[in-house]
Amino acid sequence: MLSGLDHLVITVTDISRAVDFYTRVLGLDVRYRDQERVDLMLGDMALRLHWTATDIQPRAATPTPGSLDLCLRSQLPLDEFRRHLEALSVEVELGPVTRQGANGELESLYLRDPDGNLLEISRPLR
């Protein structure tokens, strides 16, 4: 019945800080929808940023910054991605480590966005 994911909402404390991180550090393209909603494009889907102080309805029952645990696939080999993060002084919390993904084993690095959301950057092990 379902065919995929259109967008995922990330609740943030500061939209401009989040946009800077996701564009500069992760290379996502930004699309401004209005002052309270910003899309960070990830292929044919979006990570939509909502500011904590907004009253956009409907929304999750308890939108909370820092509660997301998200795995993103990298086009770069993880050693290159790690060097990119180091050049930007972004701390890698863990990795590379082997993990189980939706379609098999992954090699992953873990880091956090400015709100403390856990981001897993992965590549398939084949």
pTM of the predicted protein model: 0.93
- SS3 category, 3: coil
Residue 1 lies inside a defined structural domain of this protein: no
CATH number at residue 68: 3.10.180.10
Catalytic residue positions, numbered? 120
Tens-digit pLDDT profile for residues 55-106: 888 888 888 999 999 999 999 999 999 999 999 999 999 999 999 999 999 9
**How many angstroms separate the CA atoms of 109 and 67, rounded?**
18
- Count of domains in the chain? 1
Q: In this predicted structure, what is the pLDDT of residue 37?
A: 77
Residue 81 lies in a domain: yes
Q: Which residues contact 48 (CB under 8 A, 6 or more apart)?
A: 7, 8, 9, 10, 33, 37, 38, 39, 40
Q: What local confidence, expressed as pLDDT, does residue 30 receive?
A: 97
Strands lying side by side in the sheet with 7-12: 7-12, 45-51, 37-42, 29-32
Domain enclosing residue 116, as ranges? 7-124
Residue 60 in domain: yes
Q: What is the pLDDT of residue 34?
A: 78
Residue of higher predicted confidence among 47 and 57: 47
In a domain, 90, yes or no: yes
Considering the domain boundaries, does residue 120 fall inside one?
A: yes
